[in-house]
Amino acid sequence: MNLFFKGRNFRPTFLLIVLILFSCTKDKRLEGKSEAEIKLIDRGRTVYMTTCVVCHHPNPALDGPTGPAISGSSLVLIKEKLLKGGYPEGYKAKRSTHLMPTFIEEHENDIDAIHAFLNL
């Protein structure tokens, strides 16, 4: 046992244990949510991390390389952008570029999940 704590293996092992413990902690924002809500949020997170982070930041509250921060986006805005490539009437865009493609076929059924994740 003493050899373990004095040897070279202690630091990497300790770091691994700390990383495992932190990765197992629950997201406090999910407390009080139903199982169905958590599944919806998880689906939205998966879609966001596999599709949206190419342009938007991994943290949706921050601007990405070509896409703005989108945390807190309304359901209407998400529908308009993903399905029509436009904005709701009266909405002022954060950026003047029109680079975002539509995702009608890919994510038409994921809009509620994306909205749930962005509004967590």
Tell me the range of 10-24, 56-70, 92-106 where mean pLDDT is highest. Answer: 56-70
Quick one: pLDDT at residue 75?
Answer: 97
Q: If you average pLDDT over every residue of the chain, what do you get? A: 84
Query: For 60-93, how does the pLDDT look when each residue is reduced to its tens digit (9 = 90+)?
Result: 999 999 999 999 999 999 999 999 988 999 998 8
Work out the percent of the chain whose per-residue pLDDT is above 90: 55
H/E stretch holding 11 reads helix 10-23
pTM confidence score: 0.74
**Which tokens in the block code for residue 106?**
């890919």
CA dihedral 17, 21, 22, 27 (to 10 degrees): 170
CA dihedral 81, 86, 87, 93 (to 10 degrees): 90
Q: Which domains does the chain have, with CATH numbers?
A: 28-118 (1.10.760.10)
